[in-house]
Amino acid sequence: MSEYKRTVVLVDDNVTSHKFFQRSVENLSIDLKTYVGIEAAMEYLANNKPSLLFLNIIMPDKNGLTFLGELRKMPLHSDTRVIMITSKDYSQDRTIAFELGALDFIVKPMSMRSITSIMLEYIK
Amino acid sequence: MAKSYIRFWGVRGSYTAPFKTHLEVGGNTPCVEINIDDHVLICDAGTGIIPFGNKLIYDDKHKELLILLSHFHWDHISGLPFFVPAFHSKYNISFFGPGDSKEVIKKYIDNQMKAPYFPVGTEEWLAKISYLDPKQKKLAYGPMEISYYSAHHPGITYGYKIKAKNKTIIYIPDNECLFLDKSIKEKLKGFTEEETTMFTKMNREEYQAEVNTIANTDILIHDAQYTPQDYEKKKGWGHSCYIDVVNMAIDAKVKNLFLFSHDPNNDDETVSNIHRECQNIITEKKSSLRCHIAKEVLEISLD
């Protein structure tokens, strides 16, 4: 019987960040999909709702907070579970993100254990 | 051929500094005029836009204006209630800035002029006002090609890249560069060897991405608000230490760096000392970077 894997999406322009997340979820039943930008991610997100979405804030093609606002207008993603990732921990960003329904914040640099913990906490 | 230039009307970050000790650099908050072949582009609408607006009225020449807003922190929009051209019907003024929609941009601009904050609202503006679609990734304005990218600053903040006359100008008034670098150094002790290796690589990649964004820029107008002593206390406030800025500009082979968003606490002598420190770094690194202090009414020819 095949193992049921939850889908988690990571949108971060930094490729090493993808590898970091991949290492963090190695021992979890998670299908991790990684994208370097919003446009690439939308090919999946246009028609699919992941169990959890990790969204970097500062990205070259669009700010993650701007994208989250747009995502929330899509019926499919009105309640998608979102975790913001950022290397800058500004309280104003947290306010904007939480107003848009983000569940939590990860501030780089973070340990692999913290990523695993967040996955286990928020993936139901 | 019309003269093309950049002129600084406001160069202070955070709040105005109309003090006798600050007069050489100037005390108005951000506003930079970029005039290319008689197309007037205004970067931010801090209090510096007030004297600029008065000059526009006096010259009675340019009626089409595009105002780029880096963000809506009040030091970048506080000049608008006193921007006289907005109250004249012969002006066409367009706004572009970060936001979900034109309506949101309008709301952000309207709000600072609503009661009880100001006696006159934007409904009293007689100019033809347009709010450009904030979703467009590039704008063409006369001979200028304008793009933008996210800055490291609280909330959604833009830096603008303007290309015209074979030159690239970047205006990024509020940006905390090398933020990840400092965060990693603070937390490194708590990581495994593998995590440390990956974060060191991530840090290099993020720095290189920042350098690539400004690479070979002819004129970089960048936040240089903090001294190292300031930055010790104010890391995470969304502004850069000048040492990080000048080093990044050197690595990116920027041609001209204009130190901008001067701390309102820094008098003319302090700003001059900061500039001298930057020059020392440039000399030590044998770089060809030219470093300048952005000062009010300073004009740079683009011809």
pLDDT band at B2 (very low <50, low <70, confident <90, very high): low
Looking at the predicted structure, is the pLDDT value of residue A1 above 60? no
A88 touches chain B (CB under 8 A): yes
B151-206 per-position pLDDT tens digit: 999 999 999 999 999 999 999 999 999 877 777 777 777 899 999 999 999 999 99
Cβ pair A96:B100 closer than 8 A: no
* Nearest residue, CB atoms, A19 vs list B98, B100, B198: B198
Cβ pair B183:A107 closer than 8 A: yes
* The two three-digit tokens of residue A14, written as one number: 């930094």
Helix (H, G, I), strand (E, B) or coil at B143: coil
In chain A, residues with a C-beta closer than 8 Å to the C-beta of B192 are 111-112
Looking at the predicted structure, is the pLDDT value of residue A2 above 60? no
* Nearest residue, CB atoms, A87 vs list B183, B191, B238: B183
Instruction: Sketch the domain layout of chain A as residue ranges.
Output: 6-122
CA distance A49 to chain B (A): 22
Looking at the predicted structure, is the pLDDT value of residue B295 above 60? yes
Residue A54: what pLDDT?
97
Looking at the predicted structure, is the pLDDT value of residue A44 above 60? yes
Residue B180: what pLDDT?
72
In chain A, residues with a C-beta closer than 8 Å to the C-beta of B202 are 14, 16-17, 20, 108-109
> Exposed (0-12), middle (13-18) or buried (19+): which is B261, by Cβ within 10 Å?
buried
B263-279 per-position pLDDT tens digit: 999 999 999 999 999 99
B107-162 per-position pLDDT tens digit: 999 999 999 999 999 999 999 999 999 999 999 999 999 999 999 999 999 999 99
What is the value of pTM for the model shown? 0.95
If you measure CA to CA, which chain A residue comes closest to B100? A66
Looking at the predicted structure, is the pLDDT value of residue B1 above 60? no
ipTM associated with this complex: 0.89
- CA distance readout (Å), A26 to B29, B112, B182: 50, 50, 29
Cβ pair B152:A59 closer than 8 A: no
The proportion of chain A whose per-residue pLDDT surpasses 70, expressed as a percent, equals 97
Tell me yes or no: is domain A6-122 CATH 2.60.200.20: no
CA-nearest of B159, B127, B164 to B145 is: B164
> Across all residues in chain B, what is the average pLDDT?
95
* Average pLDDT score over residue span B97-102: 94
**Phi first, then psi: what are they for A113, rounded to 5°?**
-60, -35
Which candidate in A18, A90, A110 is best for mutational testing of the B interface (most B CBs within 10 A)? Answer: A90
| C-alpha to C-alpha distance for A85 and A87, rounded to whole angstroms | 7
Cβ pair A70:B184 closer than 8 A: no
| C-alpha to C-alpha distance for B37 and B61, rounded to whole angstroms | 13
Domains in chain B, start-ordered, CATH in brackets?
A: 5-301 (3.60.15.10)
